[in-house]
Amino acid sequence: MTQLQTPKASRNQDTGRLSFMGSSMVAAPDTSTRGSVVNTSALLSPSSATPGTFTSVPTPSFTSTHVRDRTRKGNAEGSRRTPVRRTPSRRAAAPLATAATAALLLCGPLAAAPAHAADQPGGSTDAVKPPARMSTVGGKRLGRPGTQVDPKAGAPALPKELSGKSWVVADAESGDVLAAHNAHWQLPPASTLKMLFADTLLPKMPKTKTHKVQLSDLDGMGEGSSLVGVKENYTYSVHDLWLGVFLRSGNDAVHVLAAMNGGVPATVKEMQAHAEYLNARDTHVVTPDGYDEKGQVSSAYDLTLFARSGLQKADFREYCSTATAQFPGTFEKDKKGKKTRSSFGIQNTNRLLTGLGVEPYKGIAGVKNGNTTNAGATFTGVAQRGNRVLLVTVMNPQEKEVNEVYKETARLFDWGFKAADSVNPIGTLVRPGAAGANHPSAGGKEDHKHAQASVSTDSGGSGGVWTAVGITGGSLVLLGALAFGVHRRWPLPELVRRRSRD
């Protein structure tokens, strides 16, 4: 059943799902299907997948107390789901659309050619204009409206086909912001806010911990929410739930994890505190899942900070780079009458990773997408070419072609890898803590060098010792007490390594 755009349901551009394909992660030796991740061969070899097969996803039952009463639309970018019911009901598992239907979803009328981003900030003449003055965290130029780039002689031009209201291209290791467009414009973040949720909670719960879901755990989810299929009175591991968060953007999994963390209000408070620690000053957290809510905003700059911080956690890297996995289902009786726990396949909604409707991006390793009515499409991605690792965030493309946020992200990745050595940084991704936000603004080359030097030599701050880790053969720098000090390499999935070599 297609998620429709109704007064109380979100527009959903990420509803399609291909036949069950292998994951980017290799399964750990475990006979259980709970949260297991299948091998990558099917995903790397499309011909090995069975065409036209779709895994059914159970629809959880809810009472009216589980749903926030809304007059606007919420997020449902995770998967094709029936809208959350407001009356008690129990529904049998319903199959997703057929492959033909999924193909139709990917076809749409071609819109008019988008304007050059530098000519029309936001990519549309009728788009709301960004504030004349925005935050200057990370550099004075990052606070200016419009496109900011400082090319050297011979530098490649930015792509013309950019319509995002806001975007950032940054070097994940050095923190250099290579180019940006309305970097600090406060906009609804949709489910990209789940990066902050994960970065805040992941260290608090061991992945082996289990929890039996109570009815109250699912209270407060917005109508039209994306769901992975969590059911009350069933037990899930923390690992299961994080797979639901990262792959299907499941608000049900988010709410269960929040309940395990002391509840939604406590979790929102912790997320806000963590955002402030990361110097993500454009972010105001109202919900843990990114559902449209009055006053809930972030920025392309802040989302990039969240991704950079999260990617320094091994579990975060694993989850955000996993293409497909198995999620626990219901108990079913076999022919002998014995009850066993079933499972069903889930696929990541990051289309640059899975290749649903767009070409998989070479070297992609995550991070998170989102889509709500207020936010439009949002996406933060990380990719590696050679020894260079880039982060790109795009918020709300005004060009309404299907998968536009992924296409614009890919264009910015391509430009960034070509231009990285031929542009002067126009800002920097600041490090956590008070000292990180108070270094001199990186408004030009001299300011930028000064700012980076102050970060490199500062061993103070309240953040403790943060260390650098690598992704896809490169390395990300954790900006903390030992900024740019230690480099450690962490292997990423074979999927990423193979795509990097293609």
**Whole-angstrom Cα distance, residue 131 to residue 145?**
7
pLDDT band at 102 (very low <50, low <70, confident <90, very high): very low
* Residue 193: how many other CB atoms lie within 10 Å: 32
Is residue 231 within 8 Å of residue 57, measured between CB atoms?
no
Three-state SS sequence of 333-392: ECCCCCEEEEEEEEECCCHHHHCCCCCCCCCEEEEEEEEECCCEEEEEEEEEECCEEEEE
Average pLDDT, the chain: 73
**Whole-angstrom Cα distance, residue 304 to residue 367?**
10
The widest CA-to-CA distance across the chain, in whole angstroms, is 75
Lowest-confidence pick of 16-25, 299-308, 364-373, 413-422: 16-25
Is pTM beyond 0.75 here?
A: no
| Number of Cα atoms under 13 Å in the Cβ half of residue 225 | 35
Query: pLDDT, tens digit, for every residue of 47-92?
Result: 333 322 222 333 333 333 444 444 344 555 544 343 343 333 333 3
User: One-letter amino acid identity for 366?
Assistant: G
pLDDT band at 452 (very low <50, low <70, confident <90, very high): very low
pLDDT at residue 391 is higher than 80 = yes
Residues 6+ apart with CB under 8 A from 408: 159, 161, 162, 163, 164, 167, 394, 397, 399
Query: pLDDT, tens digit, for every residue of 366-375?
Result: 999 999 999 9
pLDDT band at 127 (very low <50, low <70, confident <90, very high): low
Q: Report in angstroms the alpha-carbon separations of 111 from 90, 101, 114, 399, 400.
A: 41, 22, 8, 7, 7
pLDDT at 439: 55
Query: pLDDT, tens digit, for every residue of 180-226?
Result: 999 999 999 999 999 999 999 999 999 999 999 999 999 999 999 99
Higher pLDDT, 165 or 29: 165
Query: pLDDT, tens digit, for every residue of 275-326?
Result: 999 999 999 999 999 999 999 999 999 999 999 999 999 999 999 999 999 9
| Nearest partner of 56 among 90, 20, 89, 84, judged by Cα | 20
Residues 6+ apart with CB under 8 A from 322: 23, 24, 25, 37, 243, 246, 247, 348, 493
Query: pLDDT, tens digit, for every residue of 491-501?
Result: 334 334 434 43
pLDDT at 26: 31
